[in-house]
Amino acid sequence: MITTEEAKSYIADNLNAALVALGMSQGDLARSIQFEGEVLQNARMRVSNYCCGKALPNAAVLVNLAEVLGCTADELLAKPKPKKSR
C-alpha cells in the first residue's frame, strides 16, 4: 500500500517523464485536460501542481491525463523506475 504523499510523488515523476518523452509542455497537457468553461490558467495551475507533487488528481482527471499521454492510470500511479546513472 502506498501513502498519499508517495502517490503524489509517483504521479509527478511519471507525468514529467511522459511529457519529456512526448515533447509536450505542461501547457500542452493543460489545454488537453481543460474542463469545459474552465479558465486555461486554472488548468495550467492544476497540471503544475500535479507535476510538482503538490496535488493528487481525482480518478476522472487521472484517466484523462493517461488518455492524453497514451498510457494507463496504473502506469501513472506506478513506482517510477530508477534512473540509469551514466
Does 86 or 42 have the greater pLDDT score? Answer: 42
Q: Is 54 within a domain?
A: yes
**What's the pLDDT score for residue 85?**
65
**What's the pLDDT score for residue 82?**
79
- The per-residue pLDDT for range 22-77, each reduced to its tens digit, is 999 999 999 999 999 999 999 999 999 999 999 999 999 999 999 999 999 999 99
Q: Is 69 within a domain?
A: yes
Number of domains in the chain: 1
Where does residue 12 rank: exposed (0-12), middle (13-18), buried (19+ CB within 10 A)? Answer: buried
Q: Is 84 within a domain?
A: no
Burial string for 61-74 (b: 16+ CB within 10 Å, else e) reads bbebbbebbebebe
**What's the pLDDT score for residue 86?**
64
Determine the structural domain holding residue 16 and report its residue range: 4-76
Q: Is 38 within a domain?
A: yes
Q: Is 43 within a domain?
A: yes
Residue 26: give its domain's CATH number. 1.10.260.40
Q: Is 83 within a domain?
A: no
DSSP 8-state code for residue 70: T
**What's the pLDDT score for residue 7?**
97
Q: Is 81 within a domain?
A: no
Sole residue written with cell 498519499: 4
**What's the pLDDT score for residue 56?**
97
